[in-house]
Amino acid sequence: MSQAKESSRKRRGAGRVTLADVARTAEVSAISVSRFFNQPEQVSPPLRARIEAAVQALGYVPNLVAGGLASARGRIVGMVIPNISGPIFAQTIQAFSDTLSRHGYQLLLASSYFSEAQEESAVRAFLGWSPAALVVTSHFHSPATEKMLAEADVPVVEIWDYCPERAPLQVGFLHHQVGVQACRYLLEKGHRRIAFVQNSAAGDLSALERRDGYIETLREAGLEPWVFVPSADCAPFEAGRQAMEALIRRTPRPQAIIFANDNLAAGALLAGQRAGLRLPHDLAIMGFGDYPFAEMLLPSLTTLRPPSREIGELAALRVLQHLGSVGLEGEVQRLNLLQCELIARESA
Amino acid sequence: MSQAKESSRKRRGAGRVTLADVARTAEVSAISVSRFFNQPEQVSPPLRARIEAAVQALGYVPNLVAGGLASARGRIVGMVIPNISGPIFAQTIQAFSDTLSRHGYQLLLASSYFSEAQEESAVRAFLGWSPAALVVTSHFHSPATEKMLAEADVPVVEIWDYCPERAPLQVGFLHHQVGVQACRYLLEKGHRRIAFVQNSAAGDLSALERRDGYIETLREAGLEPWVFVPSADCAPFEAGRQAMEALIRRTPRPQAIIFANDNLAAGALLAGQRAGLRLPHDLAIMGFGDYPFAEMLLPSLTTLRPPSREIGELAALRVLQHLGSVGLEGEVQRLNLLQCELIARESA
DNA sequence: TTGTAAGCGTTATCAC
DNA sequence: GTGATAACGCTTACAA
């Protein structure tokens, strides 16, 4: 309490209880208090008790900013994700954040909306906090971002996509393979006229890889790909409706449609029903993402479930291993390939 | 480049380009470079150009940790939210983060899962980063959290709930009023036996306020409240199913049910259909949240839409005004009451 | 408008 | 096991 008066005359950080205050109260040196927090086992029980008491009495909260500056490694991890409120990434963020915070690390979050420019500015800002690690989504970055990531002395994890030839840690799955999976599933069901509807969000490049998997698989089966591109940047639900209405007007009509994600598929589902189609009898529909509503639709939506939660958990684990916060033998595993699961429901 | 060698012998922060490096290259003083970033208008064009060039040439990224320590106010804002992946809060987070980052502030995020202990540890960790502001959800905190928030010299915003008698900035709505709104709507539709199903997540205290609004309104109408409590902490979708199956077995059966949120309502909707009920003819159903799937259900779900995005935006705006980053005349508005919107669809 | 000097609160280094 | 001292990279206060 008496410290308050003393420090209140200072220009900045007025009134804040510092390590020095604790040290004075506990009658030990500042460095011992520092050790009490960072390597408690190196402090003898008697000192530990005195420090503990002083910390309690003063309500001391360590200043992580100062610690970060002194040690050049803040207990903070930056993550840039296309969007926070989408159901897929939200689970990844949640799992990542929870795993980190269990080990005393905090999450610095920003969204890029699939824009390389926004990603770049987020990465730049994050680097200023000298983060313990940095997580970015997919492997599409601006040259400046690439440069910063390469030169910064910070472990980088790329999630969502899996791209073994790249330098950063990879935790993700093969989007190309997802397109193959979906297409094969429909081929096995006997469909021949299979269309693919792209995402309306222009920057979603991973979705294009799924499309390419579809194209390749169809060609291998001796069939002609049929890609529909919705109006750029219209709302996904709306884009799905638009695509559905356009495609069922064609003659012959497709037997099955793969949508770039579940939002598009849901819009299409409702549009199809409104048009009097009996699904999946008249037309099979597949999505991607296994959004929470997928099982609530009628017919329920056949889709591919990305390992969202697993990606978040595993990315956090690898980061923590890299930082030595979680024990391991040998090197941190750089390549982490996960799988999407095909969820067969009623719509296809 | 020659700096690299010089600094590489240093213990920490090896190789990092610093303000001093830029100053040396631009042949100005360090403080001018600092001003270049923080008050560019105070630096003359010629100097500005030289500094600009040096920054580019060296690829300088300001060290925000050092800046934060020196100025005792980091450009970082902490937010504690019950959960990140729920559709409601996700929109709040997204809007909050976007508005902040547009003004150069970063978001430090943690989830509490409605646990006061987890909230407390998150707040403690955040305070260590000397954040520019702190955002917490609702007004239910542990005493220790209250103490930290009160003593920390940081603007605090409480979102989601609206509680004018509390000291922190309030941005939210009246949950009690939501219960009233839902109940009145059903009463006006002519229903008399109206039940309420609580949330299965035990810590969701705001949901209990909505329940109390329902109880009060029903009593005022001379009717008896009928509250169903699902098994603690079972998955919400499942809890809705459970509640529905139990309630439709009663004689007489309720004419309408209000659910604590849309997840519960969706589970109930499917259970009702499976049981052969024609909704809403046999039974009216209302949810809360207007989750994305609400309009995709059959029948589509009548629900109340909380101002999720608006809360995030407004909270960010008030924070920025408080920090002087956004201009305003007079004081920052402390009380910000928003409204839920009743979305009348097919289910009630 | 520009510069100098003195911290901000912690941890690394090295000595005891 | 414990402590004195010097950074860490920046901004505030004050001076020119």
**Domain architecture of chain A: domains with CATH:** 3-62 (1.10.260.40), 74-173+308-339 (3.40.50.2300), 175-305 (3.40.50.2300)
Contacts of B266 in chain A (CB under 8 A): 296
pLDDT band at B122 (very low <50, low <70, confident <90, very high): very high
- Quickly count: other Cβ atoms within 10 Å of residue A113's Cβ: 16
Q: What is the mean pLDDT of residues B284-298?
A: 92
Which of B129, B261, B262, B274 should be substituted to probe chain A, the one whose Cβ sees the most A Cβ atoms within 10 Å?
A: B129
Q: What is the mean pLDDT of chain B?
A: 91
Q: Any CB–CB contact under 8 A between B85 and chain A?
A: yes
* Backbone φ, ψ for residue B170 (5° rounding): -115, 125
With CA atoms as reference, report the closest residue to B300 among A87, A298, A49: A298
CB contact under 8 A, B87 and A84: no
CA–CA gap between residue A345 and residue B235 (Å, rounded): 21
* Structural tokens at position B211: 């329940």
The residue assigned the tokens 């990879």 is A170
Where helices occur in chain A by DSSP H, the ranges are: 2-8, 19-26, 30-38, 45-58, 64-71, 87-101, 116-127, 143-151, 175-188, 205-220, 236-247, 262-274, 308-322
DSSP-derived secondary structure letter, B169:
E
- Choice among A325-334, B12-21, B55-64, B92-101 with the minimum mean pLDDT: B12-21
A153 lies within 8 A of chain B by CB? yes
Which whole-number Å values give the CA distances from A145 to A117, A126, A336, B84, in the listed order? 9, 12, 23, 27
Phi-psi region of A189 (alpha: psi -120 to 50; beta: other; left: phi over 0): alpha
What pLDDT is attached to residue A18? 92
Nearest to B83 by CA among A133, A101, A41, A189: A101
Looking at chain B from residue 205 to 234, which residues have their Cβ under 8 Å from any Cβ of chain A?
none
CA A279 centroid distance within chain: 33
Q: What is the torsional sign of CA A167, A170, A174, A176?
A: negative
Q: pLDDT at residue B9 above 70?
A: no
Instruction: Tell if A47 CB is < 7 Å from nucleic strand D.
Output: yes
Kindly state the DSSP code that residue A331 receives in the 8-state scheme: S
Residue nearest to nucleotide C5 (CA to C1'): B31
pLDDT digits (tens, 9 = 90+) for B244-258: 999 999 999 999 999
Q: What spatial distance separates the first Cα and last Cα of chain A, rounded to whole Å?
A: 69
Residue among A37, A61, A300, A308 with most chain B CBs within 10 A, to mutate: A61
Global pTM reads 0.90
**Cα atoms in the Cβ-side hemisphere of radius 13 Å centred on B282:** 14
Q: In whole angstroms, give the CA distance from residue A177 to residue A279.
A: 26
Task: Kindly state the tokens that stand for B242.
Answer: 């459970």
* DSSP type of residue A163: -
% of chain A at pLDDT higher than 90: 76
Q: Identify all chain B residues contacting A88, using CB atoms and an 8 Å cutoff.
A: none
Per DSSP, what are the bridge partners of residue A294?
none
Of chain A, the percentage scoring pLDDT greater than 70 comes to 96
Q: Is the CB of residue B105 less than 8 Å from the CB of residue B78?
A: no
SS3 A17: coil
Angle, CA of B49, B76 and B311, to the nearest 5°:
115
Q: What is the pLDDT of residue B6?
A: 33
A22 is near strand D: CB distance < 7 Å: no
Residue B73, pLDDT score: 81
Token output for A43? 């402090």
Contacts of B278 (CB under 8 A, 6+ apart): none
pLDDT of residue B259: 98
Q: Given this model, what pLDDT does residue A16 score?
A: 79
Q: Which residues of A touch B67 (CB under 8 A)?
A: 128
Tell me the residue type at B229: V
Q: Which of A65, A84, A93 sits opposite B68 (nearest CB)?
A: A65
User: Does the structure show a pLDDT above 80 at A199?
Assistant: yes
Greatest mean pLDDT among A103-107, A295-299, B19-23, B178-182 lies in: B178-182
Q: From CA B30, how far away is CA B27, in angstroms rounded?
A: 9
Nearest to B131 by CA among B194, B76, B192, B169: B76
Comparing alpha-carbon positions, the chain A residue that sits nearest to B123 is A61
From CA B4, how far away is CA B21, in angstroms rounded?
A: 10
Tell me the pLDDT tens digit for each residue of A23-38. Answer: 999 999 999 999 999 8
Per-residue confidence (pLDDT) for residue A14, from 0 to 100: 57
Taking a C-beta distance cutoff of 8 angstroms, is the pair A347, A300 a contact? Answer: yes
Q: How far is B112 from chain A (nearest CA, A)?
A: 9
What is the residue-wise DSSP string for A238-299? HHHHHHHHHHTTSSSPPSEEEESSHHHHHHHHHHHHHTT--TTTT-EEE-SS--GGGGTSSS
CA distance B262 to B178: 14
Q: Where are the beta strands (DSSP E) in B203-294?
A: 227-228, 256-259, 284-286
Q: How confident is the model at residue A11 (pLDDT cuts 50, 70, 90)?
A: very low
Asked if residue A96 has pLDDT above 90, the reply is: yes
CA–CA distance, B176 with B161 (Å, rounded to integer): 10
First to last CA, chain B: 70
Measure the CA–CA gap between A149 and B88, rounded to whole angstroms: 33
Is the C-beta atom of A335 closer than 7 angstroms to strand C? no
Please report the pLDDT score of residue B15 as a whole number: 66
pLDDT value at B235 more than 90: no
Question: Around A296, how many Cα atoms within 13 Å sit in the side-chain half-sphere?
Answer: 28
Residue A12: CB atoms within 10 Å: 11
In the structure, what pLDDT confidence band is assigned to residue A15 with cuts at 50, 70 and 90? low
Question: Which pair of tokens denotes residue B335?
Answer: 């009380």
Residue of A227, A236, A241 whose CA lies nearest to A204: A236
Closest CA to A138 of A106, A116, A109: A116
